[in-house]
Structure 1
């Protein structure tokens, strides 16, 4: 990524947030922001990047928005409601720009929007990803993604979703929704779309910067960073590599250390929630030897915190790693997760360890039917060949 592209990616969310707050209209704000970035792309390579690129972009976008509204006859009567254009860009003081990205995050992740709309809008508005990029990441057509974004923005306008940080009594639930969206984005990247995983981490850093006293935000960021540090070892070509078989020399130990530092921050803030516990588990999995009995105990705690059957499945897998495959299989067989790929692949692994080959093969075949990625299918087919 060039220096110009990096600045654009870093500044997009801040500029768009400022314009949404200023204009109160998502579409007009996006048009003005896009125009400002286009002008910058034309001018900066020859004139040089300004000392305060964010201020330059916000001011240019605001002035372009005002010019556009003035040109629209139907809105002419409203022009007196708008402030005059700001001072010349070079004279603008960027300390006057209010960072409204937090308001934008909560707008994009409002519970009135469908989950797929929340994810798409967060990546577009905060991440600055092009519609085509988001569509490729989620393996849908660009037209489908355009419709998702349009529906989300129309819903914001039609229902009057506020551009605001929710009140203190609503914040915990709403923050959970924001964290869930970032985690979903990361999980899509973790399954092989590395750029999307890196984008989730970048957005996580933005959230932690805007909400520095929220331990679960730090816990999620730590979790993503530690997992992402192993990305180069998780695949060998198109083959999926399990944790025990990974080449640790490929792990990014600096990022693991940085993730642990973020986790320490979460603990210092009193964090003991689900994301913090998951980050602890991820950190322990990078130790040698891995303390599986303790990880199994942490998964028990996580089950109590979340009540999630998927977490119960992970607890069973940890039990098996700790030397209790029989108990693990009993736990798995008690779960209602028939349509879940990893239920069947985990069950296949447990049956394989217990020497129940025919049952293991049936579980692997069912998992292969549910697999959506080439590495997953290759791994499961390899297991079938080995059984």
Structure 2
């Protein structure tokens, strides 16, 4: 049963150096990780494997990581007697230290890239996703083809936007996102829209027939056929992450796909990704902007199913957004595009702390800490102050 040692800061690294030197002496392991052929450790006992892993070449490598925000102390390990014992990837350094300042170690220098994967489900989720990624690109200076102009340094050299975008070898910025719908019409708008080059085709997933506003079709019949494909695409995105924080899930409560398929997907994500945070952006049905008579049923069913699997659900009231468009923005007959762009502004405001440097709500768990009083009561209502 293995143990991993993590040595942090000057003290941690220097103590680690002394410890591993002693472990090697105790177990008869040489400074290059080899063990003399005439040496059977502890009379053939291999309990030392709790602390060492053995490579195919018979080298014993410590199960350890050395971390310091500046390189001086770790460089002593890199150049010391036991330099061959460690793999270079185990010795991690930054460029500048925390200057004995807790806040620098915790919030600024120490804050690594912690990625978020966005999952957009159903018509509402996909259309909001379209509006959100358009806005993120404008905010970060990324062009519709994913390139960044060479004269543009995003946010003054800040790379916090990498929580939402991954960069390819060719310098293209690709959203860490998946768009899913059980029928192709709405996702086809993304495939043919202005930002079609931004996404990889594998990120846009569609079935052949929709859930017809029926929770059971989204969750049990049509949804079951596509869920493994969706999880596979999400897994590919997760593999590209160095420190996945969790998932942002966009959907409606009223639609068949938004309610049924989302609840199925969240159940499966809980199995595959255990403790990773899951935040929802959910469109709540409203009588004035209703498209199906069964929306209340779908809402009850999806709320019940996802209650244990969601950490925080930001509720967006379609009717309130509709009223803001009419009253404050003088749009006589608001379209879904108007509603979605306004919701995009709200989502952008909420996620800004994840995409730009800051001290508050810098990761998904902090949202829960600040907004959720009890695990089951996790439904903050999104409000937008629109000046009269």
TM-score normalised per structure 2: 0.26
Query: If each structure's strand is expressed as a fraction of its own residues, which one has the higher value?
Result: 2
Give the structure with higher Rg (CA).
Answer: 2
| Greater helix share, structure number | 1
Structure with more relative contact order (C-alpha pairs < 8 Å, separation 6 or more):
2
TM-score, normalization: structure 1? 0.26
